[in-house]
Chains A and B, each alone.
Chain A
Amino acid sequence: MAVPTKSEAGRREGTVIQLTAKDFKGKVNPDWCPGCGDFGVLNSVQRAVAELGLRPHEILTVSGIGCSSNFPGFFNAYGMHTLHGRALAVATGAKLANHELTVIVTGGDGDGYGIGGNHFMHAARRNIDLTYIVMNNQIYGLTTGQLSPTSREGMKTKSSPFGSVELPINPLLISIMAGATFVARGFSGDGKHLVELIKQAIQHRGFAHIDVFSPCVTFNHDNTYPFFRERVKRLEDEGHDPSDWKAACEKAMVWGDTIYTGLFFRSEGRATLEEKEPVLAQGGPLAYRPLGLSQEQAQKLLQRMM
C-alpha cells in the first residue's frame, strides 16, 4: 500500500489559496447557549489556523465529552469526538501514527483536569507535539452545573449546595511541573490575544497547553465575563519573560484582584516525543508505511527462535 504522504501529495500542486476563518466553519452550527464562552474559543482557533495558512485536511481536532468538547463538530477539519477525559490519549495515538498532522486537542476543565487528569500530566511530560486548549469554565456544563476540579473553594453548585470544601487545582502549575514546554492562559473575552496565543501554541514544537477562561453563562454565576474582565492582565504588558521558569510559577499562582493571561512558560530546548522516537525518523507517517515483514526481518526473527 503505497500512500503519498502529506508532504508529497496532500497539497494541491501550485495552488495557494489563503483560507479565512469562515472556511473552518463546521457542518453544523454550535449548539452552545447564547453567550457561552466557547464561541470565543472556536472563533479564535478558526482565525489562528487560517492565519497560519493551514488547510482543513491537515488538521485533526480531538476532544472528549462536554459542551466544550463538542468543538470538532463545529470546526471544519478532520475530527475525533471521543470519550470523556480521553482526548489526549487518543490524540497521542493519532499523532504518533501520523506525525505530519497538526493535532489540536480541545475540551473542558472537567474533561481534562478531572477524569482526564492523569493523561494531562503524562502528555505534558512526554512533550508530544500537541496543542491542548482547555475551555475552563470552572464548572461542568453539559451535565448541568456540578463542581469541577477548578471550582473555587466555597462555590455552591448542584453537587455542592453548601459550598465546595475542596481546593481548586492550578492547571498551569500542573503542566509546568509535569514538563509541558508551552504553557499559556487566555480569556475567551479577549479574542485577539487568544488568537496570538493559539498561533504560537500550534507553531511550538512540543506539548502546548492553553487554559482558556471560557465562562459558562448558564451554570456558573461566579466566574462570569465581568469577573474576568475586572481581573485579567496580560503578562506581555508586564514584561514577563516566559523562559523564566520561576517567574512563570509565581505568576501562575497569582489569583485575586489580578489574574494573568498570556504566555507563562516556554522552553524551546527539549526534543519532542516524535523527535526522540527513532521509529518515526525512519520515514514518513507510520500510518502510510507498507505493511508486513521483509524477508530479512522474518529470517532474523525465526533465527532467534532456533
Chain B
Amino acid sequence: MESARFDFVIGIGGAAGQGIATPGNILARTFVRRGLHLCAYNAHQSIIRGGHILLALRVAEHEIHSHGDNLDLLLCLNQDTMNRHLRHMRPGTWVLFNSDDIVPGDAAEGVHMCPMPVKALTNDSRNKVIQNTVALGAIVSILGLDFATLEAALQRELGRKGKEVVEENVQAARGGFDHAQAHFPSLDRPVPTGAKPLAVWSGNEALAMGGAAAGVRFYCAYPMSPSTGILHWMAANARDLGIMVRQAEDELAVANMTIGAAHAGCRAMCATSGGGFALMTEAIGMAGMMEVPVVFINVQRAGPSTGVPTKTEQGDLWQALGASQGDYERFIVAPKNALDAFNTIPELFNLVDKCQCPGILLSDLLISEGTFSVDPDAINMFPPIDRGELITQPRSADGANGADTNGYLRYQDTETGISPRALPGLEGYVYVAATDEHDEDGVLISDEFTNPHKRRKMVEKRARKLQHVAKEVPPPALEGPADAEVTLVGWGSTYGVIKEAIDQLKERGVTANHLPIKWIIPFHSEEVSAILNKAKRVIVVENNYSGQFARYLRSETGFAAHGHIRKYDGEPFMPHHIVEGVLAQLAGETTRFVPEHEFIV
C-alpha cells in the first residue's frame, strides 16, 4: 500500500478444506459495508481437500478494477503458504501465522512477522478452523477497525450455526484481536469509510441475477466449473422468482431443453464451460436455423479438452465463432466485468428476441468466480424488456376444421428479415419449425422441394435480420487521450486490468489509451478500423496463447496489431504485467510479451 489513498491487499493462503472462504467472506462483507471497494480473486486448484489456495482480497477507498499487483498482508493457514509466498512480501507488510504449527521463513527486512499462539489464545480449542477466526481478530486489529464490527460480522456469518458456535468464534477473535493489539504494529492511518455501504457479488451471481432481471423463466445446466455458480444461484432462487431450473443429464440435453423452452415462449438461458459448450454447439446452430431466441453462456476456463478446470483463460473465442456448422445468425458478446455481465444479459435477451437467434456470452473464471463490490444503486433490477415481434394472442382459425392458419408464414421473407413469431399453443398459427432448411411456411426444402432460389432466399432472409438488429449494438469507443503513444486493445475481462495498467503507465510517463471490445458479433469493423488506423502503436492484450482476438481483429479489419501481450499460464493478468509488456515493446525488446506469473498456486 504505497499510494496516498487507502488501497490494501490481504492474501489468505492455505489448503482446500481449511476454511478460507469464511474469513474471506467476513472480511469482504465487513469492508463493503463500510463503503470500501473490493476485488477478490481466489487462485485455487481442482481439488476438494488439500492443494493450495491463495485468496487475494483487495480493498480500496476508490473504485478498483483488478485484484492488484502485491500483497500487503499475508495470512498463512499452513506451512506451504509460508514457503510459497513469504518471498513476495515487501517491507512494511504483515505475515500472520499460527506459531503452534508453522515455522516462519526468512523474511525481507521490514516485513512484520506476526506469530499467533493459537492454542494459548483459544484455551487449546480443538476446532480445526479456529486459527482462521483468531487471525480475523488480528487482522481487524492491525487495520485499526473496532472489534464490534467483527463481532457483528461473525454473528451474521455464523448465526445459523447456533449460539455456541458464534460464542466460541467471538472469543477466539477477541483473543486474536487483543494479542495483535499487544504485539503487532498496526496500520499507520485509519481505514477510511466510503460514501455509502456497497454490496458484493461474484460474476456468476451477476450473470444469474441478470437473467432473473431479464425475465428468464427457464434455466438449465449440467455442472461444470467455473459456470456452476450460476446454477447454484438459480436453484437457490428458483421458487422465489418463478424460474424453472433443471439440472439435465448432459450439455446436449441442456442446450436442447433450453431451446425447447425458448421456442415455446420462455426467456431461456443455460451456461457451461468450454467442454460443455462443445457439446452444445450443434444445438446452437439449430436455434439459428429455427430462429429461436436463446442465450448460451460459456464461462471460459483454461483448455483445450478438460484443460485446467480451476484456471482462467480467454481461449474459447474461436470456439464461439466456430460453434456449429454453416453460416447462421448469432450474437457473441464478452462483458468486461461483473456489473457489465449483469447488464449484458437483459440487453442480449432483447437483441436475440428481436433478431430471433441465439446469443452467446463469453465470460471467464476471472469474472465469474471473482468477488466484487458493487454499488447497489448501479444495479438496474428493472431493465427494459423487448420481446421483438412476438405473436401472443390467438385468433380464430378460419377453416371449419380449426386447422387453417390464415396463411401464417412463420418464416416470412420480410424486408427486415424478421418474421413475426407465434408461440406454440395459439390458435390460428399452427406451423412446424424445422432444423432442416425450410421455406417461409416451415416446409422442408432440404429434400424434394430443394431449389437454389429458395435456399438463397432463406439464407439472405436470416442474414438480413441480424444486419437489421446489429444497428442497436454500440460500436466500441476509445477510452483515454486520443493521441496516446500506445493503444491497448483488449476484449472481455481484461478491461479492468488494462485500465489500471494505463494509470500505472501514466505514472511512468507513458500515455496509453484503451479500446475495449465487448461485442464480437456484430463487430463494428469500420469504426474499429478508423480508430486503429489513427493509433500510433497498437498492442492487443489477451489471456490466451495464440492471440485469438488479434487474429479475429485482422480477419475483420485487415488491421495487424503492432504488438501483443499474452498470458496463458492459467492466472489472470496483474496490472504490472501489462505495464512491463508495454515498456518492453516501447524499448523495442519484443513484439510479443509473455509476463512471468510470480505467484505460484
Using a CB–CB cutoff of 8 Å, the interface residues on chain A facing chain B are 1, 3-4, 6, 9-12, 17, 19-20, 22-24, 26-28, 31, 55-58, 60-62, 65, 70, 72-73, 76-83, 85-86, 89-98, 100-101, 118-119, 121-122, 277-280, 282-283, 285-289, 291-293, 297-298, 300-302, 305-306
Contact, CB under 8 Å: B263 / A94: yes
B111 interface contact, C-beta 8 A = no
Contact, CB under 8 Å: B260 / A93: yes
B152 interface contact, C-beta 8 A = no
Also in contact, A292 and B392, with CB within 8 A (given A57-B429, A89-B253, A282-B242): no
Q: Within the complex, what minimum Cβ distance (angstroms) separates A186 from chain B? A: 24
Q: Within the complex, what minimum Cβ distance (angstroms) separates A51 from chain B? A: 15
Nearest neighbor of A87 in chain B, beta-carbon distance: B256
* Residues of chain B lying within 8 A (CB to CB) of residue A65: 435
Contact, CB under 8 Å: B444 / A97: no
* Residues of chain A lying within 8 A (CB to CB) of residue B427: 10-12, 55, 57
Q: Which of B33, B217, B267, B393 has the most CB of A within 10 A?
A: B217
Q: Within the complex, what minimum Cβ distance (angstroms) separates B195 from chain A? A: 15
Contact, CB under 8 Å: A93 / B430: no
Question: Which 7 pairs show the lowest CB-CB distances between chains A and B?
Answer: A93-B260, A291-B215, A287-B265, A79-B432, A93-B257, A89-B256, A97-B264
> B420-445, CB under 8 A of A: which get 1 and which 0?
00011111111111111000011110
Also in contact, A78 and B424, with CB within 8 A (given A57-B397, A90-B259): yes
Q: Within the complex, what minimum Cβ distance (angstroms) separates A147 from chain B? A: 22
Q: Within the complex, what minimum Cβ distance (angstroms) separates B290 from chain A? A: 7
Contact, CB under 8 Å: A89 / B374: no
* Residues of chain A lying within 8 A (CB to CB) of residue B95: none
* Residues of chain B lying within 8 A (CB to CB) of residue A70: 444
Contact, CB under 8 Å: A291 / B385: yes
Of residues 250 through 272 on chain B, the ones whose CB sits less than 8 Å from some CB of chain A are 250, 252-253, 256-268
B contact residues, total (Cβ < 8 Å): 83
Cα(A19)–Cα(B199), bound, Å: 59
Contact, CB under 8 Å: B447 / A31: yes
Of residues 237 through 295 on chain B, the ones whose CB sits less than 8 Å from some CB of chain A are 237-244, 246, 248-250, 252-253, 256-268, 282-283, 286, 290
* Residues of chain B lying within 8 A (CB to CB) of residue A60: 264, 424-425
24 contacts between A and B (CB under 8 A): A10-B425, A27-B442, A31-B447, A61-B432, A72-B432, A76-B403, A77-B430, A78-B432, A81-B433, A81-B434, A83-B283, A86-B253, A86-B283, A90-B257, A90-B263, A92-B246, A93-B257, A93-B264, A121-B249, A285-B264, A286-B261, A288-B423, A302-B199, A302-B381
* Residues of chain A lying within 8 A (CB to CB) of residue B429: 57
Nearest neighbor of A290 in chain B, beta-carbon distance: B215
* Residues of chain B lying within 8 A (CB to CB) of residue A9: 393-394
B545 interface contact, C-beta 8 A = no
Cα(A97)–Cα(B218), bound, Å: 7
B197 interface contact, C-beta 8 A = yes
Cα(A76)–Cα(B401), bound, Å: 11
Contact, CB under 8 Å: A6 / B213: no
B396 interface contact, C-beta 8 A = yes
The listed residue (B33, B264, B283, B430) touching A76 by CB distance below 8 A is: B430
Contact, CB under 8 Å: A93 / B435: no
* Residues of chain A lying within 8 A (CB to CB) of residue B201: 305
Cα(A56)–Cα(B241), bound, Å: 32
* Residues of chain A lying within 8 A (CB to CB) of residue B448: 31
Q: Which of A58, A97, A98, A300 has the most CB of B within 10 A?
A: A97
Cα(A61)–Cα(B427), bound, Å: 15
* Residues of chain A lying within 8 A (CB to CB) of residue B425: 6, 10, 57-58, 60, 78, 98, 100-101, 285, 287
Nearest neighbor of B379 in chain A, beta-carbon distance: A302
Cα(A4)–Cα(B217), bound, Å: 17
Contact, CB under 8 Å: A73 / B434: yes
Cα(A1)–Cα(B32), bound, Å: 38
B212 interface contact, C-beta 8 A = yes
Contact, CB under 8 Å: A17 / B426: no
Contact, CB under 8 Å: A79 / B263: no
Q: Which of B262, B401, B435 has the most CB of A within 10 A?
A: B401
Contact, CB under 8 Å: B402 / A56: yes
Also in contact, A277 and B244, with CB within 8 A (given A19-B402, A97-B266, A122-B253): yes
Contact, CB under 8 Å: A297 / B401: no
> B199-231, CB under 8 A of A: which get 1 and which 0?
111000100010011110110100000000000
Nearest neighbor of A17 in chain B, beta-carbon distance: B402
B382 interface contact, C-beta 8 A = yes
* Residues of chain A lying within 8 A (CB to CB) of residue B290: 80, 82
Cα(A4)–Cα(B425), bound, Å: 11
Q: Within the complex, what minimum Cβ distance (angstroms) separates A66 from chain B? A: 12
Cα(A80)–Cα(B286), bound, Å: 11
Cα(A27)–Cα(B286), bound, Å: 22
B474 interface contact, C-beta 8 A = no
